[in-house]
Amino acid sequence: MSYTKNLIADVISKTTGETEFHQAMTEVFSALAPVVDSNSRYQEAGILPKMAIPERSIVFRVPWIDDKNQVQVNTAYRVQFSSAIGPYKGGIRFHPSVNLSILKFLGFEQTFKNGLTGLPIGGGKGGADFDPKGKTDAEVMRFCQSLMTELYKYLGPDEDVPAGDIGVGAREVGYMYGQYKRITGRYESILTGKGLTYGGSLGRTEATGYGLLYLMDNILKGVSNGLDGKKASISGSGNVAIFAAEKTYQLGGIPITMSDSGGFVHDPDGIDLAAMKEIKFVQRGRISEYTKHRPNAKYTEGKGMWNVPCDIALPCATQNELHEADAKALTANGCIAVGEGANMPCTAEAVEVFQSNNVIFAPGKAANAGGVAVSGLEMTQNSMRLHWTFEEVDQKLQSIMAGIYEKMSTAAAEYNMAGNFVAGANIAGFKKVAEAMLAQGAV
């Protein structure tokens, strides 16, 4: 067996049950085989085995009191994966499905993603199995305060700087930030995605969705007339999905579907974004309500969204939401490109279908890196005690996404895999982190 195959088997045998982590690690290490095989320094210094284990994982309980005065308790985690190129950086997720395997896969991916941005940020991820859905603002606040009462010990502007993710938006970041400040008395940049009144960056809310479309536009310009006139199928209706839809319109495309965990809407005339924002951001409602605003749109409960014919597919909800059968349906219906707005939304089998049918495939660690990139820019502004305009931030985001396109294309071509952005993104992200580990004296 080759070095990487052996290593993958070894890591899997030592991390029983961590299926999402196995999936992400297997993809990355398989893509790195030609790099580590041709460079003995990486093997001698044990770079890959070290990358497979977080520098530190913190697991803690979060007790809180609901509105009926009942004590509730959740489990929370912070996985500090790699500080090779900067302080740990990666979001906090609140969702009932959260467990150590999911956060390890996310922290692992984040390490390479952050390397691709070119910014000095390491990799981490955190979260809790808390479901903010159906909770009052007061309950969410008490939960966030209790979580930060433990988590604050491990954060710092030069140590670990989390952001939002699924279930964690401006409201939750605000409550966590307030509690950190209350405990420590320090007004410092320990979270990004903050509100604009207390240190947030313009353009952070939009960054992941916008960045995804900037990358897809860069890629598609190489093969056709960019996004112009393209119909885009987008899953999810949260932060990433909504701003992906907004930028799709701005670049000349038409978003025709969106979803949530209940079902999906298909609006052949193009999604009405004002209605979608009202339902999701203001009312915190369900996507089924969309047809009240748009009688021509159709709501379908459950899955099946990827059967709707489209030119490009942008999965922006969650991991493993797009399966092999979905990939086959998209391919058969003429889809030419897929960009992962979410983290690992396509299963390994689905990716294989796209790649073997020459459907352009942009993996999440490149395609959704715009969010963490602008989080990095938020940290920079906080350090400088300055506030850039939206245009300045957006300009920097565009150039970071163009840089990512360049880096992953060049890395893939260097190893004779031109156009394979999975390999390219993994190799380029890896090299940045691995070289830093070597330089710092690999022990």
* Residues designated as active site: 125
Residues 6+ apart with CB under 8 A from 405: 215, 218, 219, 366
Q: Report which DSSP code applies to 321.
A: -
Residue 342 pairs in a beta bridge with: none
Nearest approach, Cβ of residue 106 and ligand NDP (Å): 6
> Which residue stretch of 15-23, 63-71, 290-298, 336-344 sits at the interface with ligand NDP (rule: CB under 6 A)?
336-344
**Using alpha carbons only, what angle is made at residue 295 by residues 289 and 296, rounded to the nearest 5 degrees?**
120
Size of interface with ligand NDP, in residues (CB under 6 A): 23
318 counts as binding ligand NDP under rule CB under 6 A: yes
How many CA atoms lie less than 13 Å away from 385 in the CB half-sphere? 2
Question: Which of 54, 115, 126, 164: binder of ligand NDP (CB under 6 A)?
Answer: 164
CB environment 327-365: b (16+ within 10 A), e (fewer): bbbbbeeebbbbbbbbbbbbbeebbebbbeeebbbbbbb
Q: Report which DSSP code applies to 346.
A: B
CB 433 within 8 A of CB 85: yes
368 counts as binding ligand NDP under rule CB under 6 A: yes
114 counts as binding ligand NDP under rule CB under 6 A: no
Site string for ligand NDP, 206-235 (x = CB under 6 A): --x---------------------------
| Whole-number Å distance between alpha carbons of 296 and 124 | 43
Which H or E run contains 151?
helix 137-151
Question: Which of 19, 75, 149, 261: binder of ligand NDP (CB under 6 A)?
Answer: 261
- Cβ nearer to ligand NDP, comparing 261 with 355: 261
| Whole-number Å distance between alpha carbons of 111 and 115 | 6
Question: Which of 83, 239, 382, 409: binder of ligand NDP (CB under 6 A)?
Answer: 239
166 counts as binding ligand NDP under rule CB under 6 A: yes
371 counts as binding ligand NDP under rule CB under 6 A: yes
236 counts as binding ligand NDP under rule CB under 6 A: yes
Question: Which of 115, 123, 126, 167: binder of ligand NDP (CB under 6 A)?
Answer: 167
Nearest approach, Cβ of residue 180 and ligand NDP (Å): 20
253 counts as binding ligand NDP under rule CB under 6 A: no
Summarize as ranges the residues that interact with ligand NDP (CB under 6 A): 164-167, 208, 236-241, 260-262, 316-318, 321, 341-343, 368, 371
